[in-house]
């Protein structure tokens, strides 16, 4: 970008080497690729948000929050929660639909006692089911998808531009070395066979 800002305009374009023009073009390509990465990331995030929202709405039609009653106190379960803590469960009873009675063990807080009310989600048949995903969960998924897409595009473009600029640099140095081999003997005076007026 610094080279682009120093572009002197058409009056000095004859002083610019082909390698300089190539670098400028690839830097512009990198800038455009970065903008494209941002746009694609936003679009990917919105697409994931829309898909997850539709799925959550569809699932919500078949998920029902109800209140169950514990028939036993909390006790250690067979699984474990995140963070290494032991899961605690209790036997509960609930009614869904109103004419059907269900019992089962669900996760409850550690100090839960018999006869307390607990909340759970069930499906249309009254079986314990997972709750629909919250807006926060959907937002995290959408943000992760958007950032992932943007990073993949930006890193890929950056790697391609870096490789191309490196190749330009190698060729430029090789050409400079060839030109220097021609100029250096004349510039240093090594081509003169007779002593010059300034020689000691």
Structural domain boundaries enclosing 146:
2-57+136-187
* Residue whose entry in the numeric block shows the structure tokens 């539709």: 54
Residue 108: helix, strand or coil by DSSP?
coil
Question: Considering the domain boundaries, does residue 199 fall inside one?
Answer: no
Question: Considering the domain boundaries, does residue 152 fall inside one?
Answer: yes
pLDDT, mean of residues 153-181? 81
**Which one is predicted more confidently, 46 or 190?**
46
In this prediction, residue 78 has a pLDDT band, given cuts at 50, 70 and 90, of: low
Q: Which helix (H) or strand (E) holds 171?
A: helix 135-188
The answer to whether 7 and 24 have CB atoms below 8 angstroms apart is yes
**From the CB of residue 168, how many other CB atoms can be counted at a distance below 10 Å?**
16
CA distance 43 to 39: 6
Q: Of 68, 29, 45, nearest to 162 (Cα)?
A: 29
Convert the pLDDT of each residue in 20-39 to its tens digit: 777 788 888 889 999 999 99
- Residues 124 and 161 occupy one common structural domain: no
Evaluate if residue 71 carries a pLDDT over 60. yes
pTM (two decimals):
0.62
* DSSP annotation of 52: H
**Which one is predicted more confidently, 188 or 48?**
48
pLDDT, mean of residues 71-99? 79
- Residues 17 and 69 occupy one common structural domain: no
β-bridge partners, 95: 101
**Which one is predicted more confidently, 193 or 126?**
126
Assigned token pair, 4: 């682009």
Evaluate if residue 138 carries a pLDDT over 70. yes
Evaluate if residue 195 carries a pLDDT over 70. no
Structurally, how many domains does the chain consist of?
A: 2
pLDDT of residue 147: 95
pLDDT of residue 1: 47
- Residues 51 and 140 occupy one common structural domain: yes
Question: Considering the domain boundaries, does residue 118 fall inside one?
Answer: yes
- Residues 114 and 150 occupy one common structural domain: no
In this prediction, residue 134 has a pLDDT band, given cuts at 50, 70 and 90, of: confident
Torsional sign, CA 69, 71, 75, 79: negative
- Residues 17 and 51 occupy one common structural domain: yes
In this prediction, residue 4 has a pLDDT band, given cuts at 50, 70 and 90, of: very low
- Residues 68 and 124 occupy one common structural domain: yes
Evaluate if residue 107 carries a pLDDT over 50. yes
């Amino acid at each position: 970008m610094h080279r682009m800002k120093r572009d002197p305009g058409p009056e000095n374009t004859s002083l610019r080497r082909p390698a300089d023009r190539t670098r400028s073009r690839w830097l512009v390509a990198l800038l455009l690729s970065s903008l494209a990465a941002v746009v694609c990331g936003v679009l990917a995030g919105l697409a994931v948000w829309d898909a997850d929202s539709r799925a959550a709405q569809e699932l919500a039609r078949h998920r029902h929050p109800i209140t169950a009653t514990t028939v036993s106190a909390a006790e250690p379960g067979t699984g474990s929660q995140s963070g290494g803590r032991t899961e605690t469960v209790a036997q509960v009873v609930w009614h869904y639909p109103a004419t059907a009675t269900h019992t089962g063990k669900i996760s409850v807080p550690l100090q839960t006692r018999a006869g307390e009310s607990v909340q759970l989600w069930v499906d249309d048949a009254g079986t314990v089911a997972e709750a629909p995903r919250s807006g926060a969960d959907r937002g995290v998924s959408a943000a992760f998808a958007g950032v992932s897409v943007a990073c993949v595009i930006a890193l890929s473009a950056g790697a391609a531009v870096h490789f191309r600029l490196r190749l330009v640099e190698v060729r430029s140095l090789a050409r400079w070395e060839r030109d220097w081999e021609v100029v250096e003997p004349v510039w240093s005076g090594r081509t003169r066979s007779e002593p010059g007026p300034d020689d000691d």
